Structure 1
Amino acid sequence: MEKKIFQKARPVFVPGMEAKPDTLAAFRCDFTVQPGKTYKLAIAAHTFYRAYINGVFLGAGPAPAPFGMLKADRYRLEGLKEGLNRLAVEVIGYVPSENNYATHETSCLIAELTEENKVICATGDAGFTCGLLIQKDCEAETLSFGRRVPLEAYHLDEAYTAWRTGAIPGAAACRETGEERIIRERGTAMPDFSIREGFRMLGIYSLRERPEEWKAQSWWESDAYIARCGGEGMKRPAYEDSLLEDTVYEGRLEEEKGTDGRCIYKLSGHEAPAALEFVMEEAETGFIGIAFSSEGPVTVDILWNDYLDGRGLLPVKADNVNRVIRLYSEGGRFAFEAMEPHFLKYIKVIFRGGKRVSLDRLYVRTYHFPDSPASGFVCSDKEMNRIYEGARRTLLTNSLAFFLDSPERERGGWAGDSYWTGRAAAMLLSDTTLERSMLTDFLAADYSVMQEGSFPACCSGGARKDPCMMYSWNLFLLLELTDYYRRTWDEEMKEAYRERVSLFLEASQAYKNSLGILENIPGSMFIDWSQSNDASHTAPICTAANGLYAFTLQRLGEMYHRADYIEEAECVRAVFRKVYDKVKGSRNDLFTMYPFLPDSMTVTEDGLTGNGAYSEAAQYYYFWTGLLSVKDAPALWKILKEEYGPCPEKYRGTAHLRVGNCGVFFGYMMRFELLARHEETALLEKEMKHLCGYMLSQDPGTFWETLSGTDSRNHGFGAYYGAILMRVFLGMEIPDRENKRVCFAPHPGSLKWAKGTMDTADGRISAFWRLGDEGIRMEMSAPEGYQIEAVIPEEYGFTRCMTVNGVQTDISGPILTGNKLSLELRRKE
């Protein structure tokens, strides 16, 4: 335990409850404030905490951490009153056994109050008392398959919030848990806790049951979970609400403005459940809050979603999430805020009973990484600008202390996703702290049981040792490490990974066959959300995984100056290139004619032989990883360009019908990078506008996990579309901090101008270009000590009159200057 974070505090919990699942605990510490003194709070917990000072929200957390560790948050306490002040902390202890957003460990709180750095109250001493908040009903259906914990349901009474400034019912001394946990700093900025209000009202309804019958039990709810949460008596609010449909409101509605200007909705005379529906201007990640009153017993259900379905209805069961919070009360006035964060744009509040009820306030307290003004991009095309803004919204709502898979269903941090999101954060937020935090967590995590030196697929969640390895995502993580190093020149991180990298690569040798390529890789193989993931496409020899392995070896060899890694990478590539040389001119069968390289292969007496499985995504892997080149496989590249992608120029003939379709995750990402790499700017622009525009034309204005939109409509990796705009069309590449160089290579496409900026650890980079009848003008400034490598767009390679930093010149090829560039290229008259 690092003393610089906690001097005296020790992990505690309610006596005897630290191992009991789904426990909501209350902790109190009263302290005296002297004028002119500085007071601070350091706090960590498992699973999650929420803190108040004198009944006013202070913060929530902590950031998830690897098994056996906790991350501490620090608060400087402002607005304290002289004399007695009260700290109140709620801790939800899930003790999860099925969850990828939290480790499967027991509950605890560790907190310490200091006055001028002197400890005045700490868990483990008599200053803290604790008790149980029995109002939370944990015998309820699960929140989602990624967060397999009871959805939030409460029996509200005065005691639910009164203890924050009064006494905890049945208060007792806290008991130390006896578990030592490594305590680390959060490592990133604290979340943005802004309040979002001003919901626009969409409708008021009476609800009636629909005739459809739905299956109550979700596929991810195990028998053990159901038994733990009430068995046959388990409450199912989401199931009940999914049976309701909107009809004309039959009661009375009164609307009035409160003294604070908020609209108050008063409902009465309704016998059927009554509902009010609202929409936010932009979708947000955060905690839903409500204030309401009732003259009699009432059940209040809060439903949310980030989109409305094809009938204009708010789906309460969607994307494997039960999207409802249930509140019971016997009447009175209550204020409530959820402990679980959600991603929403639409919200519906349902009242059952209550005689006269009043909705006095509705809000969302945001819970994501703070926005940054340090980066920006704008161009002459409004569609492209909309893609950039959608990417920023995707990034912000999926960032906390690491990059989230999705802000609602799972909230875990997956290695494959973060490869793309890390790049986006560097450009769209000018931030590398989130990526560093995530890389640190992966390194601190235990190996998968399948391979020494391996990494879990999901960051800071699950069991101590991941039972199933995702080998391809281990490779993506190591690729991200090499990208991160180029962006940051973080020698400490590079050296911290050195031993783990060596162990991982050494253990990988066990999968090498007689040809020196990987075969029968254990665990789960992920190539793309498509047919390419099927076993027939990935075993026994997965061609795409071998290409990714070789690419990773090459990049690690460059970073660690290991010639043997680079040599091994070329040996792996040579095996598959030899196979392709044999098959590129032959016919396989009627529906998979040349020149595709098979997804999976087998070693036979005739050598390495394809298994007849082909996918679009795998073909992109081959080019993206360097297994094949456009020079060596021009026919394949031509077919991929013209007959595949989100909006192909040509329809496929029968010769390609058996080639499986691609997904956005990650096949189209690689395709877009390849189009940029090979100067296919017009096609890249067309496809981005088609694909991204389709997603953005529908709710919630963020980028999706799959093409259908039936899965997560906000997936963090989609933020990379914004980085593509900056890297390709603006032409401002992510700087190489190790070599102090930044590339400026605009690809205008149909654009007339573009401008953008990003901040780095060394200073700001700013770039713009614009076209005119006479030529192109390019301007860039970089930090002192950097060099700018300027590349003139290919279409402007005519006979030219060019000035660089005021000096007329005639240079062919890239132009290397200092940290200031002013380039003007004009046609000769």
Structure 2
Amino acid sequence: MPARLALPRGVPLPALSTLRPLCVSESGAVAHRLPPDGYRKDRSLTGVGPLFLGYPEAELETIPSLLLQEIVTTERHACDRPYTPDAPLKVEARSYRIVDFGRVAAGFIRAEVVCAEPARLYLLFDEVLSGGEVDFLRLDAVNAVAYELGPGVHRLETMEPYSLRYLKLLVWEGTADVRGISVREYACGDTVRGSFASGDPALDAIVAAGIETYRQNAVDIFMDCPSRERAGWLCDSFFMARTAAALGGTTLYERLFLENYALPERFAHLPEGMVPMCYPADHFDGNFIPNWGLWFVLQLGEYAARSGDADMLARLRPRVESLMRYFEPFRNGDGLLERLDGWIFVDWSPAREWVQDVSYPTNMLYAAALEAAGRLYGSGDWLRQAEAVRNAVRSQSYTGEYFADHAVRTAEGLRIETGHVSEACQYYAFCFGIAEPDTYPELWRTLVERLGPRRRGIKSGRAPGVAPTNQLIGNMLRLEALSAAGRADVIAAELPDLLGEMASATGTLWEQDEPIASCSHGFVSHVVHVAYRDLLGFRHVDPLRRTVVLRPGQLGLLSCAGALPVGDELLALSWSYADGKLYIETDIPDDYEVALEIEGPYTWQRKERPR
């Protein structure tokens, strides 16, 4: 076997704290019954082959996901009693118990099981209840672990980390006394240096949920979720990198993430120049998201500003140049990308269907990536192309009321699909240099007053004909557009509608607006960065130039306080209103140049630090 080079990562050891259930929420009985509508099977069972590796169904000796679909609940009894770790839960044959951890936890499931006779025990789990049940197939994954146990004492711990709030202990044969149920958490060990307190319970709960979501998705790489995939996805990483800087004051995790893209000579199975949508990973089917390659360039630009890492910029320059060359053949006569290959992803909303032949949100993102690459590597050509793309998008996509999502190539030329308008597309326009509040004032007024989390559904009446956005990534882009325009007041007012239910239900933040996918999704931890920037008021921190721009108190809160880690230092800010005046206190190293952006009377006290 050839020698393998192991790269030092240098990340802190993971947090391995123990989380126990809060209560036993339900007990019941089960019976055998064939599923009336057939078995639910996903691609991991039916799609195995040279493009999707695994074990074919015919080669499996047992298939728990099918066996468990033949077990149905016949009796349910709510109990909701506190869980006592030392008191055994007796689970008899064809019965179950459900324990509730109070929030989503990510880690290794543990228990001590005593069997007086041979027993078959199933651990079924999920992040939420679906119709009151633990649906172990909700995520298109098999959230189940099967044990065949002999008589005796068994100290169990799963070999892989999972994500769950509810754990269902189901005994099909024999009996089991189960005690010491817990999750050995597998989470980032470097998230406790900063602090944030707004005095608003809903906002503070959302920030806490954002921190917990980050912990679960940044053990040693930025991941999308701690459940089904545990994969290092681009785009998610753009938002998580900001959170990493806000919580740990470091770019270490981001450097490691980007280094993964610098190491290979090429990426197998992908077109020349394209980068994987997630990595490290194998892409035997050749699928990729061209948009994620553009987010890769945007993240690299922000990483450079955060870190000053000239070496990484140099190492990734060939990758960026190859990526830009990849897009060249897709540029049409107007300079816009047309008929891109791969999975063109704009948003988890109807916008995901409106992407051919010319996707205007994709071209808005393309312009931003061209500009970022041009500034990083001093390319005037890329900068000129960026402005040309923006001008073409403005002239074609804007209908006089909204930016349309796409155009279709016909024999007569491009036909702008003016009936296909998504909320997400409007946010792309304001985030990526196509539109500004003063250049499109009516659209901006509509965006602020009629779009957003308080308006859901095309037939809501507030913005008829505009397809509402979803969490990934339109909701985050709305926050960015509002922030750029200085509308922290709107952000503070909308966050409870946007994320409050999630924080309350699972203590984490979700991939989509509804609990139909991952309920702990790393990119949504970006709300922590938003809280520091827009609610607390650390508008901009430049650790390289040692400058800080503060914009405190420009929202409806009465007070806010927090500390932002930057490297080995902490930058502290607190503010409060009294008698119509803003009182500000800062504890920031003396060699930082601090600028204030404030409207109205204020008093500022800056604590002096000895040199």
How far apart are residue 548 of structure 1 and its match?
0.7
1:439 to 235, 243, 258: 258
Gaps (5+ residues) in structure 1? 1-177, 250-254, 585-594, 807-818, 822-829
1:222 aligned onto 2:39: no
Contact 2:428 2:477 in 1 (8 A): yes
Secondary structure in structure 1 of the residue aligned to 2:376:
helix
Counterparts in 2 of 1:25-64, with a 5 A limit?
Answer: none
Question: Which residue of 2 is the match for residue 190 of structure 1?
Answer: 13
Q: Deviations over 1:58-98 (max 9, x none)?
A: xxxxxxxxxxxxxxxxxxxxxxxxxxxxxxxxxxxxxxxxx
Q: Deviations over 1:319-339 (max 9, x none)?
A: 212211111123222222111
Q: Deviations over 1:222-258 (max 9, x none)?
A: 2547994552865333443343215268xxxxx999x
How far apart are residue 263 of structure 1 and its match?
2.2
**Alpha carbons of structure 1 residues 283 and 769: separation in structure 2 relative to 1, 3 Å:** same
Q: Deviations over 1:590-643 (max 9, x none)?
A: xxxxx1222112567987641333211111101110112222221222222222
Secondary structure in structure 2 of the residue aligned to 1:733:
strand
Question: Which residue of 1 is the match for residue 495 of structure 2?
Answer: 688
Percent identity over the alignment is: 25
How far apart are residue 779 of structure 1 and its match?
2.6
**Alpha carbons of structure 1 residues 646 and 329: separation in structure 2 relative to 1, 3 Å:** same
Amino acid at match of 2:427: Y
Length-normalised TM-score, structure 2: 0.90
Task: Supply the distance in 2 between the matched residues of 1:804 and 1:754 (Cα, whole angstroms).
Answer: 14
Question: Which residue of 2 is the match for residue 47 of structure 1?
Answer: none
Secondary structure in structure 2 of the residue aligned to 1:502:
helix
Question: Which residue of 1 is the match for residue 67 of structure 2?
Answer: 240
Secondary structure in structure 1 of the residue aligned to 2:364:
helix
Higher normalized helix content (fraction of residues): 2
Compare relative contact order (CA 8 Å, sep 6+) and give the higher one, 1 or 2: 2
Question: Which residue of 2 is the match for residue 307 of structure 1?
Answer: 128
Contact 1:282 1:345 in 2 (8 A): yes
Question: Which residue of 1 is the match for residue 340 of structure 2?
Answer: 521
Secondary structure in structure 2 of the residue aligned to 1:182:
coil
Question: Which residue of 1 is the match for residue 370 of structure 2?
Answer: 553
Q: Which has the larger radius of gyration?
A: 1
Amino acid at match of 2:63: R
Q: Deviations over 1:470-506 (max 9, x none)?
A: 1111111111111122122222222221222122223
Length-normalised TM-score, structure 1: 0.67
Amino acid at match of 2:38: K
2:180 to 350, 361, 366: 361
1:352 to 172, 189, 192: 172
Amino acid at match of 2:341: P
Contact 1:642 1:649 in 2 (8 A): no
Contact 2:108 2:186 in 1 (8 A): yes
Task: Supply the distance in 1 between the matched residues of 2:411 and 2:63 (Cα, whole angstroms).
Answer: 59
**Alpha carbons of structure 1 residues 676 and 288: separation in structure 2 relative to 1, 3 Å:** same
Task: Supply the distance in 1 between the matched residues of 2:507 and 2:278 (Cα, whole angstroms).
Answer: 26
2:548 to 731, 742, 763: 742
Amino acid at match of 1:462: D
Contact 2:122 2:169 in 1 (8 A): yes
Higher normalized strand content (fraction of residues): 1
Question: Which residue of 1 is the match for residue 160 of structure 2?
Answer: 340
Contact 2:232 2:280 in 1 (8 A): yes
**Alpha carbons of structure 1 residues 350 and 552: separation in structure 2 relative to 1, 3 Å:** same
Number of equivalenced pairs: 598
Question: Which residue of 2 is the match for residue 206 of structure 1?
Answer: 29
Task: Supply the distance in 2 between the matched residues of 1:500 and 1:444 (Cα, whole angstroms).
Answer: 10
Task: Supply the distance in 1 between the matched residues of 2:525 and 2:413 (Cα, whole angstroms).
Answer: 42
Contact 1:762 1:783 in 2 (8 A): no
2:532 to 726, 747, 754: 726
**Alpha carbons of structure 1 residues 566 and 782: separation in structure 2 relative to 1, 3 Å:** farther
Q: Deviations over 1:178-218 (max 9, x none)?
A: 23433211342222223333553234433234685253241
2:278 to 454, 458, 463: 458
1:540 to 346, 352, 357: 357
Counterparts in 2 of 1:407-806, with a 5 A limit?
Answer: 407-445=226-264, 446-447=266-267, 449-463=269-283, 467-534=286-353, 537-579=354-396, 583-584=399-400, 595-602=401-408, 609-612=415-418, 613-648=420-455, 657-698=464-505, 700-761=506-567, 763-783=569-589, 785-792=591-598, 794=599, 796=600, 800=601
| Stretch moving more, 595-604 or 729-738 | 595-604
Q: Deviations over 1:269-290 (max 9, x none)?
A: x5x4132321224321111122
Contact 2:26 2:76 in 1 (8 A): no
Contact 2:115 2:151 in 1 (8 A): yes
Amino acid at match of 2:494: E
Task: Supply the distance in 2 between the matched residues of 1:650 and 1:329 (Cα, whole angstroms).
Answer: 51
Question: Which residue of 1 is the match for residue 118 of structure 2?
Answer: 297
Amino acid at match of 1:334: H
**Alpha carbons of structure 1 residues 634 and 239: separation in structure 2 relative to 1, 3 Å:** same
Question: Which residue of 2 is the match for residue 264 of structure 1?
Answer: 88
Amino acid at match of 1:565: W
Task: Supply the distance in 2 between the matched residues of 1:503 and 1:369 (Cα, whole angstroms).
Answer: 34
**Alpha carbons of structure 1 residues 348 and 781: separation in structure 2 relative to 1, 3 Å:** same
Gaps (5+ residues) in structure 2? none
Secondary structure in structure 2 of the residue aligned to 1:413:
coil
Q: Deviations over 1:354-390 (max 9, x none)?
A: 3x53224322222121143211110121111111111
